[in-house]
A and B are shown apart, each in its own frame.
Chain A
């Protein structure tokens, strides 16, 4: 089973490209302090708004800080937010989806009705409203992004559970006397993890996009902490004189999100039982 997945995965060029991007990003964020040439928060008013040069690979921003260094450190921030937010959404989504799929009837109706209600709110509005009420700290952002993206995972897990709960191994577990919770978490859930894994990878991509949009608007990661989104804010404020502030962070976001999307699609293709 597992070797079959790896065999198909490694043959899939899309998946490998995505995987390489993701690994490179991890390495960059882990070794940020060795890779970045300058201190990302070091203000130097002699070097304000310099265009890219060998000294400053991506130029400097309006306070003279080196953009390349800020972007290297920003990678770690984006990844952190992406993972924690997706983690939150998976925990909520899996629990609700499992309960809805396994118990059915009124539990299912109530949970799916809740999902429909949450889907009526434009996610961005909800996130902004909640962050307006609490303050924009990095933890609040992570949790709020997670709280607005669990709906899709709930549906996926519920669909898996509905089809899996009639299978023989579930009957066997029940016959041996396993309780409901044990059946859900130790027997059915491992078989549903395939779609959850794909959704998680794609979810990280989405969370990174959302976090950068929030930071761009000034309601996400607050300066001076570097985030790709808030470098773009400086880009917007200096749009006529500093094109480099607008180009590079967005490019980084694009490549990162593309990498995670390719990886997620690659995993999905490798796990798809229909392509055997």
Chain B
């Protein structure tokens, strides 16, 4: 864990320093009357004249206090504030996506494995293949056209309607959910194909095991054999896969939040990239990596909890 954390900070540091020129050029380049001495003072104010490893250590110290600097945009707010006010929405959408992936992909995978080579299996195999190849942002556009423009039944931007404050509480909640349907579904779409295929191959492997034959020989009903014995064993590696798909979900949120104008971390990232607001970009890069690390840690712990054979760090 710790070496990963250190490695993440090193990679972030290297990426920041890829920028040509010095950060103080922004304030001094356009003013020809700035003397060399003033530039040197500015450099030492920001510790830019110290050797790289010292700069790195100072920066890590700031990171530990969650001081990610100030935004370059006109409001100069601390980066950490800007990120924290947008993280909840992104996390909610990603958690809902993951729940949707689990709810849909696992039953599909199990059924495909149990009825191997049946019509269901073949049809889902085709869907999975297409699902791997579909550019999800294109699917988002098509669904926006279908549901938003032609049918007009689902909202296609933001997370609240314009008259949000005037709606009674129950309708307000429904309104929020309606806004979330398309983004969550599309965010989950990519992971659905992968997970259902993985689940299928896992189940196929488990069903061929000896203990399944034993269970059947014991006279247990097929349902108990599949859902109690086979499924539990096949589910375990799925936890790891879910952990591995977290970076994909977080990265995908950039596209969906931009398309659907959702005020989350992904949209902030995109806007900062377009505005070349480097402190915010770096801050979100770092936070994104940390979120992935946390997600993988949770996946590892859940795996240890679920599988009694694995109880080591």
Indicate whether A and B interact. Answer: yes
Question: A residues near B, CB below 8 A?
Answer: 113-114, 116-126, 128-134, 205, 209, 212-213, 216-219, 232, 235-236, 239-240, 243, 246-247, 249-250, 253-255, 257-258, 261-262
How close is A131's CB to chain B, nearest CB, in angstroms?
8
Which residue of chain B has its CB nearest to the CB of A122?
B251
Does A128 lie within 8 Å of B138, measured CB to CB?
A: no
Known A232-B138, A261-B132; contact A121-B258, beta-carbon cutoff 8 A: no
Does A121 lie within 8 Å of B273, measured CB to CB?
A: no
Give the distance in Å from the alpha carbon of A125 to the alpha carbon of B254 in the complex: 8
With beta carbons under 8 angstroms apart, the residue of B142, B247, B255, B284 that contacts A217 is B255
Q: List 27 A-B contacts (CB under 8 A).
A: A118-B11, A119-B247, A120-B8, A121-B288, A122-B292, A124-B254, A125-B250, A125-B288, A129-B273, A129-B282, A130-B18, A131-B273, A132-B278, A133-B15, A133-B16, A133-B278, A209-B135, A212-B135, A213-B135, A216-B137, A235-B141, A236-B141, A239-B141, A243-B145, A247-B142, A254-B130, A258-B133
Known A235-B141, A240-B149; contact A254-B133, beta-carbon cutoff 8 A: yes
Does B141 lie within 8 Å of A134, measured CB to CB?
A: no
In this assembly, does B7 line the interface, its C-beta being within 8 Å of a C-beta of chain A?
A: yes
Which residue, of B19, B259, B289, B293, has the highest number of chain A Cβ atoms within 10 A?
Answer: B289
Give the distance in Å from the alpha carbon of A178 to the alpha carbon of B18 in the complex: 40
Does B141 lie within 8 Å of A250, measured CB to CB?
A: yes
Give the distance in Å from the alpha carbon of A124 to the alpha carbon of B252 in the complex: 7
Does B251 lie within 8 Å of A232, measured CB to CB?
A: no
Tell me the interface secondary structure of chain A in the complex. helix
Q: Which of chain B's residues have a CB closer than 8 A to the CB of A257? A: 132-135
Give the distance in Å from the alpha carbon of A249 to the alpha carbon of B135 in the complex: 10
Does A129 lie within 8 Å of B285, measured CB to CB?
A: yes
Q: Which of chain A's residues have a CB closer than 8 A to the CB of B149? A: 239-240
Q: Which of chain A's residues have a CB closer than 8 A to the CB of B247? A: 119-123
Number of A-B contacts (CB under 8 A): 135
In this assembly, does B227 line the interface, its C-beta being within 8 Å of a C-beta of chain A?
A: no
Does A121 lie within 8 Å of B255, measured CB to CB?
A: no
Give the distance in Å from the alpha carbon of A240 to the alpha carbon of B157 in the complex: 14
CB neighbors of A among B32-91 (8 A): none
Scan B261-300; emit 1 where CB is below 8 A from any A CB, else 0.
Answer: 0000000011011101010011011001100110010000
Does A213 lie within 8 Å of B142, measured CB to CB?
A: no
Give the distance in Å from the alpha carbon of A89 to the alpha carbon of B246 in the complex: 22
Known A239-B149, A254-B130; contact A124-B251, beta-carbon cutoff 8 A: yes
In this assembly, does B102 line the interface, its C-beta being within 8 Å of a C-beta of chain A?
A: no
How close is B214's CB to chain A, nearest CB, in angstroms?
26
Q: 4 smallest A-B Cβ distances: which pairs? A: A250-B138, A124-B251, A122-B251, A117-B7
With beta carbons under 8 angstroms apart, the residue of A119, A134, A213, A255 that contacts B137 is A213
Does B255 lie within 8 Å of A125, measured CB to CB?
A: no
Q: Which of chain B's residues have a CB closer than 8 A to the CB of A209? A: 135
Give the distance in Å from the alpha carbon of A118 to the alpha carbon of B292 in the complex: 11
Given A117-B7, A123-B247, A134-B18, 12 other A-B residues pairs in contact with their CB atoms under 8 A: A113-B4, A117-B4, A118-B11, A120-B7, A121-B289, A128-B270, A133-B281, A205-B133, A217-B258, A232-B141, A239-B144, A246-B142
Does B138 lie within 8 Å of A258, measured CB to CB?
A: no
Q: Which of chain A's residues have a CB closer than 8 A to the CB of B258? A: 217
Scan B227-271; emit 1 where CB is below 8 A from any A CB, else 0.
Answer: 000000000000000001001101110110011000000000110
Does A250 lie within 8 Å of B142, measured CB to CB?
A: yes
Does B8 lie within 8 Å of A121, measured CB to CB?
A: yes
Q: Which of chain B's residues have a CB closer than 8 A to the CB of A258? A: 129-130, 132-133
Which residue of chain A has its CB nearest to the CB of B246?
A122
Does A218 lie within 8 Å of B138, measured CB to CB?
A: no
Give the distance in Å from the alpha carbon of A202 to the alpha carbon of B9 in the complex: 31
Give the distance in Å from the alpha carbon of A223 to the alpha carbon of B195 in the complex: 36
Does A262 lie within 8 Å of B129, measured CB to CB?
A: yes
Q: Which of chain B's residues have a CB closer than 8 A to the CB of A250? A: 135, 138-139, 141-142
In this assembly, does B169 line the interface, its C-beta being within 8 Å of a C-beta of chain A?
A: no
Q: Which of chain B's residues have a CB closer than 8 A to the CB of A119? A: 244, 247
Give the distance in Å from the alpha carbon of A254 to the alpha carbon of B259 in the complex: 19
Which residue, of A116, A120, A240, A257, has the highest number of chain B Cβ atoms within 10 A?
Answer: A120
